[in-house]
């Protein structure tokens, strides 16, 4: 099957890690790519790297918690390039903290960045997306289903985003806009896992919890996002695609040895 290459791609939180790899992927396909994140330095570095690879790239320094700043960024991107074909939204914050030790502001901060930030991005994108034909992917996590300890803020925020995904799939479907989530498990070489698995023993514990017994490569996630945004998935909307080596199947993998012993 042939699939049309998107013309304009916007990646919110697209200046490092998994999301930057998404931006690089679409840049390599010849798309115009816009990225947004808080740090002007990270935005400049990402735009330069994308431009060096031959792409048309623009960047916006904005905090997804600032609805007006996000709206301004989308307005400028749409003014420069017209409607957005692919929107990937993955700005996020994470740290490990047991619920009993997490301050209300700590909980609120992650919910604000991840969940409220996603809403702000979706709200700003509305009216600036290709209709019909736009595809949106929200980057969530295995935590949206798995109640991982030390992650109550992330567990709640990512579950909320998946419900945003489903709601918008219903509300925006009639406009020909598809909305899905990708829920990665542990991805190697990322800031997220530097925070959640800082020691060799914690990397081992995470690996043991994954039925496929490895961390994802960034490309595993990029390929899933690419598929969801392609014509190959033209009838797929409102779904959460786990890219987690089976992690969200919970303790079932660990029980296997007990059953066969
Ligand atoms: P990362 O490198 O830290 O990427 C986060 C991006 O979001 C950066 O570009 C960051 O740039 C931006 N960002 C953070 N807070 C922001 C804010 N308030 N406003 C605007 N931009 C903001 O992290 P990553 O590990 O690659 O994670 C990327 C995504 O994958 C996240 O949604 C994460 O939850 C998800 N995920 C990751 C893993 C993993 O194993 N790493 C697993 C499951 C899900 P600035 O600092 O410049 O703002
Ligand atoms: N443990 C417990 N609480 C923590 C914490 C930790 N490791 N890190 C931050 N907090 C709390 C702070 O104490 C503060 O609460 P308080 O005012 O009650 O003390 C609250 O969270 C906000 O912290 P602050 O540093 O002001 O937030 P920020 O908006 O500047 O930064 C973070 C947001 C905390 C999520 C920061 O880690 C960040 O910018 N992360 C982006 C990168 C990232 O997380 N990448 C991985 C994505 S999966």
**Banded pLDDT at 182 (limits 50, 70, 90):** very high
Largest CA distance in the chain: 63
Q: Tell me how far apart the alpha carbons of residues 145 and 249 are, in angstroms, rounded to a whole number.
A: 9
Instruction: Provide the percentage of residues in the chain whose pLDDT is more than 70.
Output: 98
Res 212: pLDDT? 96
209 Cα: distance to centroid of ligand 1 (angstroms):
23
Q: Tell me how far apart the alpha carbons of residues 34 and 75 are, in angstroms, rounded to a whole number.
A: 12
- Region of 120 (left: φ > 0; alpha: ψ -120 to 50; beta: rest) is alpha
Ligand nearest to the CA of 114: 1
CATH of domain 8-197+211-249: 3.40.50.720
Q: What is the mean pLDDT of residues 2-18?
A: 93
The structural domains of the chain, with segments of one domain joined by +, span: 8-197+211-249
93 Cα: distance to centroid of ligand 1 (angstroms):
6
Per DSSP, the three-state class of 83 is coil
pLDDT in tens, 111-151: 999 999 999 999 999 999 999 999 999 999 999 999 999 99
**Banded pLDDT at 254 (limits 50, 70, 90):** confident
Asked whether the predicted pLDDT for residue 81 surpasses 80, the reply is yes
Residue nearest atom 13 in ligand 2 by C-alpha distance: 106
pLDDT in tens, 199-214: 999 999 999 999 999 9
List C-alpha distances in Å: 259 to 135, 252, 254, 255, 256: 43, 10, 10, 6, 5
* Phi and psi torsions of 37, nearest 5°: -160, 180
124 Cα: distance to centroid of ligand 1 (angstroms):
19
Ligand nearest to the CA of 104: 2
93 Cα: distance to centroid of ligand 2 (angstroms):
7
Q: Sign (positive/negative) of CA torsion 62, 64, 67, 72?
A: positive
Q: Which atom of ligand 1 is nearest to the CA of 41?
A: 47
122 preceded by cis ω (within 30°)? no
Res 73: pLDDT? 98
**Banded pLDDT at 259 (limits 50, 70, 90):** confident
pLDDT in tens, 218-251: 999 999 999 999 999 999 999 999 999 999 998 7
Q: List, chain by chain if needed, residues with CB within 6 Å of any ligand 2 atom.
A: 92-95, 97, 102-103, 105-106, 109-110, 191-192, 195
List C-alpha distances in Å: 197 to 34, 137, 192: 31, 26, 8
Q: Which atom of ligand 2 is nearest to the CA of 101?
A: 2
pTM to 2 decimal places: 0.98
Q: Tell me how far apart the alpha carbons of residues 237 and 154 are, in angstroms, rounded to a whole number.
A: 23
Residue nearest atom 11 in ligand 2 by C-alpha distance: 106
Helix, strand, coil shares of the chain as percentages rounded to 5? 50, 15, 35
- Cα atoms in the 13 Å half-sphere on the side-chain side of 114: 28
């Amino acid at each position: 099957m042939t699939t049309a290459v998107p013309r304009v791609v916007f990646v919110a939180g697209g200046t490092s890690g998994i999301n930057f790899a998404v931006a690089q992927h679409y840049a390599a396909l010849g798309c115009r790519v816009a990225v947004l994140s808080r740090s002007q330095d990270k935005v400049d570095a990402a735009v330069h790297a994308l431009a060096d690879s031959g792409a048309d790239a623009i960047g916006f320094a904005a905090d997804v918690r600032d609805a007006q700043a996000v709206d301004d960024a989308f307005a400028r991107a749409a003014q420069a390039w017209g409607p957005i074909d692919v929107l990937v939204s993955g700005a996020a914050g994470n740290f490990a903290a047991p619920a009993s030790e997490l301050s209300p502001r700590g909980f609120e901060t992650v919910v604000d960045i991840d969940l409220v930030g996603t809403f702000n991005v979706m709200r700003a994108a509305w009216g600036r997306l290709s209709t019909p034909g736009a595809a949106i992917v929200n980057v969530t996590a295995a935590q949206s289903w798995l109640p991982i300890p030390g992650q109550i803020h992330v567990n709640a925020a990512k579950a909320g985003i998946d419900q945003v995904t489903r709601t918008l799939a219903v509300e925006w479907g009639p406009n020909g806009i598809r909305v899905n989530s990708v829920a990665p498990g542990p991805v190697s070489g990322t800031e997220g896992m530097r925070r959640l698995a800082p020691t060799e023993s914690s990397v081992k514990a995470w690996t043991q919890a994954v039925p496929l017994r490895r961390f994802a490569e960034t490309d595993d996630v990029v390929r899933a996002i690419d598929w969801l945004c392609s014509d190959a998935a033209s009838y797929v909307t409102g779904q959460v695609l786990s890219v987690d080596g089976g992690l969200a199947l919970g303790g079932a993998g660990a029980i296997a040895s007990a059953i066969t012993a």
